[in-house]
Amino acid sequence: MKNISSRNLRCYNEQYWYGKHFIKDFLDIDYQQNKMRVLEVGIAEGGLLKYFSEFGLQCYGLECSKNRYENSIQLNSNLDIEFLYGDITKISPDLLRLSDKIDIVICRDVIEHIDSDVKYKALQNMYVLLKPGGRMFISFPPKYSPYAGHQQVAPRLLAKLPYIHCLPNSLYANYLSVLGVNENVIKGLLKTKHTRLTISRFEAMIDEIGFSIVKKEFYFIRPCYESRFNIKRRKHGLSSSFIREIITLGAIYLLTK
């Protein structure tokens, strides 16, 4: 068996926590319908699917990172979950057999990492996989929010400053380099900087594809921060699109087909 890092184990536990303490209520479904099919896009370590599997739901997990795909299989080896290695921007034969059959699609903090030129295709493919009347949970940090660049993962405190990712590319990269941030980490942060997504663009895409919004919530303090930092979640109801894009740390949607 491969050695799984303490960081990956923390992520696994947080994923389970998020399913239990947030998604189960947000989805507002009857979990006694244990024949329901759930597909999570971007499972990471698969902790969230572990939670749904315990309810007897039929679970599928898609992951494009080979390392995290292997972690998810190892961490959930005693559960009846089907893990798929692949890319949501391309429907493989394994995914194609699920077309129009999935009751719930979950895409938690993944869409902002998908290349901008194929985001629409990724959302379109999730729509195809969802059965009519099915529900989709999706969340992301908006493009201009304090940590949309995911700089909080950087190993240096001064690299974690809010909005630092809004600097011009060369200045941002040089700043991180001076702080001693690893070159591969810098490349990853720059990639995330370029794949960010605004709330307005997201809503335009889902409307064009055919999704309907059941509900949406915007957070000053994201629900996952309760698990990570023991800080209570905080929603806001600001209607100004400009201010909303800047101060929302987490945009969370429930969609239907």
Q: Are residues 189 and 246 in the same domain?
A: no
Separation CA 149–CA 173 (nearest Å):
12
Residue in 187, 45, 197 with CA at minimum distance from that of residue 114: 197
Q: Are residues 165 and 75 in the same domain?
A: no
Q: How many residues does the chain have?
A: 257
Domain of residue 161 covers 151-194
What the block records as the tokens of 156 is 């240096």
DSSP 95-118: HHTTTTTEEEEEEES-GGGS-GGG
Q: What are phi and psi of 143, to 5 degrees?
A: -50, -40
Going residue by residue through the chain, which has 257 residues, state the pLDDT in tens, using 9 for 90 and above. Answer: 678 899 999 999 999 999 999 999 999 888 767 689 999 999 999 999 999 999 889 999 999 999 999 999 999 999 999 999 999 999 889 899 999 999 999 999 999 999 999 999 999 999 999 999 999 999 999 999 999 999 988 888 899 999 999 999 999 999 999 999 999 999 999 999 999 999 999 999 999 999 999 999 999 999 999 998 899 999 998 877 889 999 999 999 999 99
Q: Are residues 37 and 89 in the same domain?
A: yes
Determine the 3-state secondary structure of 42 from DSSP: coil
Count of other CB atoms within 10 angstroms of residue 32: 8
Q: Are residues 181 and 225 in the same domain?
A: no
